[in-house]
Amino acid sequence: MNITDSIFYVGVNDRNKHLFEGLWPVPYGVSYNSYIISDGKTALVDTVDVNFFDKYIGKIHEVIGDRKIDYLIINHMEPDHSGSIKLIRKYYPDIVLVGNKQTLAMVNGYYGETGATLEVKDGDVLSLGKHQLSFHLIPMVHWPETMVTYDSTENVLFSGDAFGCFGALNGGVIDCKINTDIYWDEMERYYSCIVGKYGAQVQRALAKLAGIPIDTICSTHGPVWREEIPRVISVYDRLSKYEAEEGVVIAYGTMYGNTEQMAETIAETLSENGIRNVVLHNLSKSDQSYVLKDIFKYKGLILGAPTYNNSIYPEMEYLMSKLEMRDLKHRYLGCFGSFTWAGQAVRRLDAFADKVKYEVVASSVEMKQGFCSDIKEKCINLAVAMADRLKSDRI
């Protein structure tokens, strides 16, 4: 499929994978995007998951026929994009692998490739004839070797995983030729799960690219962006600044429904106190990728769980570890928990609060055994404190 008269899409769709990276559900599938620039010399930009190589090489042959590929530009070494390097080299033994110093070391480490390479540094330019490609390092978005490639001839940014999202491509590739509705939530979920830890690095990358005229963004996942570029950049800008809307995520664990009663009371009170955006996630049912997406979206967070094996409900432990790894900032926090004979959940939640440095809006609520009027009142007070703190930010 043509991106421009001389740039072609040769990516593939994966509609069979259940879990991306073995962790994150992909109900709409995922695409692995690769591109060919056809000029005096021919460049292939990134490859695809090796499991799709037969389909991939067929697409390449459709575009270039028997022509050779002069360069393989490697923006990102994660195997869903680099997995076909070894096989590509079998088909095109004279191909030159283009990457920065860390990229080429990873190529050797993953695939033992020692053929022709071209090491590029930040700002270096490679001429294909008419097309002039420059390389810009954006380390830790979201691997240390990550870079983007910019075609100044047609103002096309080959962005690697940056500006990507979950979701296979349904027929068309370019945003103006497809319905993009499903991709916006999937972009936020993708960012929260995959890139979320690296907000400062994303901000540096955005600043670095700010002065470059961009007419098309060719990411390695999801649509090619053209009409929606301002919206795409604004999503990444907002998420990487940890900005959030007024609202509360209540994420809780429950075994027999007692802790859930606390969660429901808190949710009802938030609504009664003027907070419209309230999202409840039962961690035994909600996949954590959706929980993370909502936590990135909303300013308030209330966590609740029962004691389990003299510690805390395992799914809550799992969520807290994910939040700690992402270094999420600027959130308001409340906590509640329960126990039958030895209380540990609230202690663990309070320790988490100390570690992540979120602003705690009220003392944690701890329930022994069943839900009662005293506990209900404390849950109401916690919810009112959260609502008041959120409303104090209103202009």
pLDDT tens per residue across span 277-309: 999 999 999 999 999 999 999 999 999 999 999
| pLDDT computed for residue 106 by the predictor | 95
- Give the residue from 313, 310, 261 showing the smallest Cα distance to 284: 313
State the alpha helices, DSSP H only, in 83-215.
Answer: 85-91, 101-111, 181-190, 199-209
Q: What is the rounded radius of gyration, in angstroms, for the C-alpha atoms of the chain?
A: 24
Please name the residues in contact with 83: beta carbons below 8 A apart, sequence gap of 6 or more: 47, 48, 49, 50, 51
Model confidence at 238, pLDDT cuts 50, 70, 90, reads very high
Residue found under tokens 């996949």: 287
Residue 252 has pLDDT above 90, yes or no: yes
- ∠ CA 233-82-150, nearest 5°, is 40
Establish whether the linkage from the previous residue to 142 is cis, with ω within 30° of 0: yes
| pLDDT per residue as tens digits for the range 314-352 | 999 999 999 999 989 999 999 999 999 988 999 999 999
- Residue-wise pLDDT tens digits, 121-148: 999 999 999 999 999 999 999 899 999 9
Helix (H, G, I), strand (E, B) or coil at 70: coil
Pair 120, 133: CB distance under 8 Å = no
Residue among 239, 233, 269 nearest 375 (CA):
269
Q: What is the mean pLDDT of the chain?
A: 95
Can you give the pLDDT at residue 44? 98
In the chain the domains, ranked by start, together with CATH numbers, are 7-240 (3.60.15.10), 248-389 (3.40.50.360)
Band the pLDDT of 69: cuts 50, 70, 90: very high
Which has the closest alpha carbon to 289: 30, 18, 28, 24?
A: 24
Distance CA 354, CA 21 (A): 30
Exposure string for 30-69, b = 16+ CB within 10 A, e = fewer = bbbbbbbbbbebbbbbbbbbebbbeebbebbeebeeeeeb
Residue 217's SS3 state is strand
**How much is the pLDDT for 270?**
98
Whose CA is closest to 79, among 47, 115, 33?
47
Per-residue pLDDT, 115: 84
Please give the pLDDT value at position 343. Answer: 86
Question: Contact at 8 Å (CB) between 180 and 228?
Answer: yes
Cα 305 from chain centroid? Answer: 26
